[in-house]
Amino acid sequence: MLHGILISARDGTLAVGAALLCAVSAQAQSDPLPSWNDTEPKAAIVAFVEKVTTEDTPDFVPESERIAVFDNDGTLWTEQPMYVQLAFALDRVKSMAFEHPEWKDTQPFKAVLEGDMKALAAAGEKGLLEIIAATHAGMTSDEFQKIASDWIGTVRDPRFKRPYTELVYQPMLELLAYLRANGFKTFIVSGGGIELMRPWTERVYGIPPEQVIGSSIKTQFEMRGDVPILMRLPQVNFIDDKAGKPVAINEKIGRRPIAAFGNSDGDLEMLQWTTLGGSTPRFGLIVHHTDAEREYAYDRKTEFGRLDQALDVAPINGWTVVDMKGDWKQIFPEK
């Protein structure tokens, strides 16, 4: 049809063809979520945003109250075959092993050095915390930031052979931009380490460090000669997961969000806190990983990003569930 219209320019109707091309181009540019298929989740997002931003209506929400919170792992970037935080910690064990010869005979470090993921899994949360304490502490916050930034800038995902910061979800990048264009303030609320995320979230997501909430270890102010430092201690300060997320939102943001986005049972309480109750419109969304070809397919039986209870209550609570395979045209940004 378009070819026929352009050929008809010989009859003096080139202006009509040009106008049609401009109209098609303008329509494409007007779509704020081009990587989303025209399915129910996209329609629900747009309807919610239009509802809360339309002035002189009962559902209008002032910009100061338009707070949206996003989980990171599995919601904004990939979390398989393991959390990026865990991959960083395991690499730290390997790089520090020469300083700790005792690790070759001490669990859970022995499991890491031998690549025994079964033994590492058996060590559970206690073992992971031991690894975090040994590899993330004993240095200043500035020193850790440099180590983390160097690592995230050089390491490659084992399957996709791309930096982790390129394995962010293009549809979610568009969603973040769309919300901000409509007066929302966007926050990350993640179980991941806050100081592993902060060096790059503004560059990749457009979310500045002060709008990143995550798990942390304790720090202590010290003077190193004439230089003030924050020393990282081998003690957990806060785990920003599950019921900890609403607590952190209340402490760090001070406003109850009107929109929350997650992908696992670790986000259940954040979704509940955001959407259940309140006098203004609320929106909850779960990213369901269903695309084994372009990314991964998992939910109830995975060790990382288990989606079970939250999936069951989503229809009861009116949360939108994104079928990654069916609802997203594209997963990652183009190389």
pTM attached to this predicted model: 0.90
Measured in degrees and rounded to the nearest 5, phi and psi for residue 159 equal -90, -50
How many residues in the chain?
335
Q: Are 289 and 263 in contact (CB under 8 A)?
A: yes
How many other C-beta atoms can be found within 10 angstroms of the C-beta atom of residue 212? 22
Q: Which pLDDT value is given to residue 326? A: 98
d(CA 246, CA 252): 10
| DSSP character at residue 328 | B
Q: Which pLDDT value is given to residue 278? A: 80
pLDDT tens digits, the chain, 335 residues: what are they?
333 333 233 344 344 334 333 433 344 458 999 999 999 999 999 999 999 999 999 999 999 999 999 999 999 999 999 999 999 999 999 999 999 999 999 999 999 999 998 888 788 778 888 998 899 999 999 999 999 999 999 999 999 999 999 999 999 999 999 999 999 999 999 999 999 999 999 999 999 999 999 999 999 999 999 999 999 999 999 999 999 999 999 999 999 999 999 999 999 999 999 999 888 999 999 999 999 999 999 999 998 999 999 999 999 999 999 999 999 999 999 98
Q: In order of start, what are the domains of the chain with their CATH numbers?
A: 35-81+165-327 (3.40.50.1000), 84-146 (no CATH)
The tokens for 2 are 């378009």
Radius of gyration in angstroms for the set of CA atoms belonging to the chain, rounded to a whole number: 23
- Pairing of β 259-262 and β 227-238: unpaired
- What is the DSSP annotation of 230-281? EEEEEEEEE--STTHHHHHHHHHT-S--SEEEE-SGGGHHHHHHHHSS-SS-
**273, amino acid identity:** W
How many other C-beta atoms can be found within 10 angstroms of the C-beta atom of residue 237? 13
